[in-house]
Structure 1
Amino acid sequence: MGFYEDIAEALDRDGIEARVNDSTLFVPITSELEMQFVAIDAPIPAANVYVAVADVTEDDEEFEAALVGAVFSVEDAVEQVAKHVVTDQIVTVLRDILEGTDDRISDLEFTQDHAEPLRVRAEIGDTSELVVTLTTEDNVPAASVEFVTFGDDFEDLLDQVIAEVWGEEADDEGEPLDPDRQQAFNALVQEVAQATQEVLELGTFTDFDTLFDVLAVAQSQARDWEEQLVPLDDGWEEMWDEDWDDDEDEDDDDLADVVIEVVPADDDDDEDDGDDDLDGDDSDDDGDDDAAATRGSTAGR
């Protein structure tokens, strides 16, 4: 019983209720779900961990607790409880979003992502969708929200993808695709979406009441965001590239000027200095020239 008591005290410090009954430690997770710790006869503290529906009588033949793990320390037990509490919170929020039980999102129809079960999407505005992704970090549940809008070219590119996959049968919407073609189609659609989409990050929220407020605001702002959230114009990108190229050219010209103005000057000086050092008679030549000029002047007289 000492192991149970230690677990119960640790859970109590985290604000989680626990009780012992008939050599089993019960920990309520929700009004419908509970965890059960059943001691294992071992030389060390040990217990099997079960998840079960709460308030079920022993005579209920359909009831069966599910073994989900085993713990060998108080810390392991607390960690197991925390994980299941968080899991239940995420499942509850996910269900509320998908079923639209909160009035703030009653007009939104969310669907579950086939590849990511903890991600849901809802069409919003004219050409956009709202994406909610549920995660856990350090046993804290959180929801990240994105507003994703698609460019004007999305529909045209999508039609091209459909024509490429279906070919001449593109108009026959009732014709199912074989698994390989369906996978190829999904991949192409994903590429088109990524090429034309613009994403507005709305934040990550651990307060799920705030989450529903944010979803409501996104619904009311969708069309305004669609108009403002557009990709950079090609002209702007070209201007940016030209400015960058011009800057590089100017830098190159400046460098060239330095090379032209400085390096040749150094070379000429070196050559002159070299001549002075090697000839050693520049002054003599000048003297000879002066003497010749004097003789010429005298001869003329």
Structure 2
Amino acid sequence: MSFYEDLAAALDAEGIESRVNDETLFVPISSGVEIQFDVTNELLPAANIYIAAAPESCDGGTGPDADEEEFEAVLVSAVFSVDAAVDAVLDHMATDAIVDLVDELVTDPDGRFGDLQFTAVEGEPITVRSPAAENSELDIVIDIVDGEPTATVTLTTFDPDLETLLDDQLDGTDGPVDDETVAELIGCFLAEGLILPEQTMGLGTYTDFGRLLTVMPFIAEHVADWEEELTSTADDYDVLFGDSRDGDAEDDDDDIEDFDLDGDDEDGPAPQR
């Protein structure tokens, strides 16, 4: 059997369609993107892999059935076995699914996510985040787990006093403040008992991104209720472990002034860097 025949059989076993035309094997991975395999050595074997995006047709549509000459192919890698070729297809399909999900979450083209407004967060793994309710954030972390794109959704609720405390500390600070400094301030607030620990709630792990998009409107509708319950959980924490915030309010003001972003010990200890 030829490399293409072996590869087509292996892809078929994974439930992935392919076709051969003009000595090139094509694998559609989305409505407008294909992977192309071009064998360079049949005996070794060796094949170049190209990613090809279909331009819009006259009716505005795209698809794998468009003429192959209409595709702009870009060389991305080479493989030297059928197994490596299958892995490459799976990786590209996973990447394409992740890109589509992030785009759907950030743009919300159908307006299904209510007041949630997601933005992409720099770093790895891929994360999109939205403010939620009054004092919460909704994070969707997207990664490839065991070769399968996976999204994990978490709601995190913060102490209602946190934003005010941060504003007081950062007021008058020149230039942007990095995440490390903010984290150090939060650590100081926690150590002094000015705020309660954040509360988290898992909202599922999804390999079926269609299912995730189906439940997102429900999540958007209920985040305020969940935040209220999580805040109640924090109040229960007070009952069990004591709330050091019950003291005189003036003491809290003194504690706030103890934190010095400039590292000037005359005003109290600065967060450790």
Within 5 Å, give how 1:215-230 maps onto structure 2. Answer: 215-230=216-231
Q: Report which stretch shifted further, 73-82 or 215-224.
A: 215-224
Name the one with the larger strand percent: 2
Equivalent residues of 2:150, 2:206 under 8 A apart: yes
Note if 1:154 corresponds to 2:162: yes
> Structure 1-normalised TM-score?
0.66
Instruction: Name the structure 1 match of 2:100.
Output: 92
Instruction: Name the structure 2 match of 1:8.
Output: 8
1:42, CA displacement in angstroms?
6.9
Letter in 2 for 1:45: P
- Aligned equivalents of 2:32, 2:72: Cα separation in 1: 14
1:185 maps to which of 170, 174, 178: 178
- Unaligned runs of 5+ residues in structure 1 are 167-176, 240-301
Q: Which has more radius of gyration?
A: 1
Residue by residue over 1:160-217, the C-alpha shift from the partner in whole angstroms, topping out at 9 and shown as x without a partner, is 3313733xxxxxxxxxx2xxxx3x4332234456755221111211222331343322
Equivalent residues of 2:114, 2:217 under 8 A apart: no
1:107, CA displacement in angstroms?
3.9
Note if 1:124 corresponds to 2:125: no
Q: How many residues in Structure 1 have an aligned counterpart in Structure 2?
A: 221
- Aligned equivalents of 1:15, 1:219: Cα separation in 2: 34
1:81, CA displacement in angstroms?
0.5
Within 5 Å, give how 1:1-301 maps onto structure 2. Answer: 2-41=2-41, 43-54=43-54, 55=66, 58=69, 64-116=72-124, 118-163=126-171, 165-166=173-174, 177=175, 182=176, 184-192=177-185, 196-230=197-231, 231=234, 233-237=237-241
- Unaligned runs of 5+ residues in structure 2 are 55-65, 191-196, 244-273
> Structure 2-normalised TM-score?
0.72
Equivalent residues of 1:49, 1:68 under 8 A apart: yes
- Aligned equivalents of 1:109, 1:143: Cα separation in 2: 17
Residue by residue over 1:98-147, the C-alpha shift from the partner in whole angstroms, topping out at 9 and shown as x without a partner, is 11134431542111112347211112211112111111112212210011
Per chain length, whose mean CA-contact separation is higher, i.e. which structure has more relative contact order (CA < 8 Å, sep 6+)?
A: 2
SS of 1:145's partner is strand
Letter in 2 for 1:12: D
Q: What root-mean-square deviation, in Å, do the aligned CA atoms of Structure 1 and Structure 2 show?
A: 2.6
SS of 2:97's partner is helix
- Aligned equivalents of 2:7, 2:210: Cα separation in 1: 31
% identity of equivalent residues: 42
- Aligned equivalents of 1:111, 1:50: Cα separation in 2: 30
Equivalent residues of 1:149, 1:199 under 8 A apart: yes
1:93, CA displacement in angstroms?
1.2
